[in-house]
Amino acid sequence: MSEKFCIFCGKEPKNKNLEHVIPQWLIRMAGVEKKTVFAPHPNLGRNISFMHFSFPACTECNSKYSKMEAAVKPVLERVLAGQSINGADASLLMDWFDKVRIGLWLSNMFYDPVLKHNVHPHYHIDYGVAKKDRLLSIQKLNLEEGKNKGIYCGGTMTHLFNYCPTAFTMLINDYYFFNASTHNLVSPRVGFPKVVNACPLNDITGVMEIDVVENERKKVVNPIVQNFIPNSESITFYQPIYRDFLSPKDDLPISNYVREHSYDTAKGLGGVFWQKGFVQKAKYLQKNEKISMKLKPAALPNLEADVLGFQNAVQSKTVFNTVETNFGVRMNQMALKFLEKQK
């Protein structure tokens, strides 16, 4: 381990304790206490026990997020049991996936100091939760009894993920989760304000200058996220977020449509839209409106290929291209060719 930083705030940990990026309750729920997770390391990766896959954090930061973990646990339990959840639950679940995705990204830096030096992460979990548009697609799998069960993550070891942690997949026993978050992922096609002319002002700090325009379209258009076709048996949640654009000097007008389809306008938190399968058009889900998460089991998708292809598709639409991200795209293309040949 190299220089210590709090995984939540990025500062030197105050009253240091440890945060499990894959929480202990989930490790127990999935029955993987005795299993290992593959972590990057200079030269080679190495296997680390799930229970030891933990990182420095301030006591205060950690206790703040313990509350979130306590709140999300029953929601995830209901999803895995095929019971119903409401819009607020889906939004909270996506907060948690933001936390895990950013946590896994930062854990790569902990194990590889050279990588941390090169990437120079300019934000941490505190800044990465509910910050940009996001999607979460959930699928139940018909795995053979006793096979493939456990917790697996896909797409978090790619060069591109290290520089742009936009998308990853997670397998929790027989459930498959696909999670992604970036600007303009959802907003343009659900009638929310769009980012135009995003321009990186500083490659190191990641400070961006962005212009935001109101969306003329005041409705949902299928597919909401281009390059992402949900499985026919899945349920997918989409949430536009405009928090980044709200500042006292901004006079971004919030239309009545946006106001009526938001969970919290002061925080710039759009409402959740949901879709079963792909053919059915996505619908707005009220905060307290419940939907059933009963899903028909489907075949295991290609865990790596789906997410690598999506990471490249997202990257092709952003202005934030550097030597490293271009290299990451090429690495993903090579891996995709390799996976294609293995079929």
What string marks each residue from 5 to 44 as x (binds Zn ion by CB under 5 A) or -? -x-xx-----------------------------------
Which residue, 9 or 282, is less far from Zn ion as judged by CB? 9
- Min dist. Cβ of residue 2 to Zn ion (A): 17
Which residue has tokens 């420095």?
56
Which residue, 61 or 102, is less far from Zn ion as judged by CB? 61
Q: Which stretch binds Zn ion (CB under 5 A): 15-23, 50-58, 82-90, 107-115?
A: 50-58
Which residue, 58 or 235, is less far from Zn ion as judged by CB? 58
Judged by phi (left if over 0) then psi (alpha if -120 to 50, else beta), residue 275 lies in beta
- Min dist. Cβ of residue 64 to Zn ion (A): 9
Task: For residue 187, give Cα distances in angstroms to 147, 171, 183, 194, 205.
Answer: 39, 27, 8, 6, 25
Q: Which residues contact 113 (CB under 8 A, 6 or more apart)?
A: 2, 3, 42
DSSP 50: G
Q: Does 125 bind Zn ion (CB under 5 A)?
A: no
Q: Which residues of 261-276 are buried (b: 16+ CB within 10 A; e: fewer)?
A: bbbeeeebbbbbbbbb
**CA-to-CA distance for 37 and 53, rounded, in angstroms?**
8
- Min dist. Cβ of residue 319 to Zn ion (A): 31
- Min dist. Cβ of residue 340 to Zn ion (A): 43
- Min dist. Cβ of residue 277 to Zn ion (A): 41
Which residue, 19 or 112, is less far from Zn ion as judged by CB? 19
Which residue, 110 or 175, is less far from Zn ion as judged by CB? 110
Task: For residue 70, give Cα distances in angstroms to 24, 198, 270, 285, 309.
Answer: 11, 37, 23, 23, 34
Which residue, 8 or 274, is less far from Zn ion as judged by CB? 8
Q: Rounded to 5 degrees, what are φ and ψ at 112?
A: -130, 95
Which residue, 11 or 219, is less far from Zn ion as judged by CB? 11
3-state helix, strand, coil in the chain (%, to 5): 35, 25, 40
Report the length, in residues, of the chain. 343
Contact (CB, 8 A) for 304 and 335: yes
Task: For residue 225, give Cα distances in angstroms to 29, 170, 329.
Answer: 32, 19, 20
Q: Which stretch binds Zn ion (CB under 5 A): 4-12, 16-24, 165-173, 258-266?
A: 4-12
Q: Which stretch binds Zn ion (CB under 5 A): 51-59, 86-94, 172-180, 308-316?
A: 51-59
- Min dist. Cβ of residue 62 to Zn ion (A): 8
Strands 84-86 and 167-172: unpaired
Which residue, 10 or 206, is less far from Zn ion as judged by CB? 10
- Min dist. Cβ of residue 12 to Zn ion (A): 9
Count of residues interacting with Zn ion (CB under 5 A): 5
- Min dist. Cβ of residue 56 to Zn ion (A): 9
- Residues 52-71 binding Zn ion (CB under 5 A) are 58, 61
Q: Which residues of 58-97 are buried (b: 16+ CB within 10 A; e: fewer)?
A: beebbeebeeebeebeebbeebbeeeebbbbbbbbbbbbb
- Residues 160-189 binding Zn ion (CB under 5 A) are none
Would you tell me which residues interact with Zn ion (CB under 5 A)? 6, 8-9, 58, 61
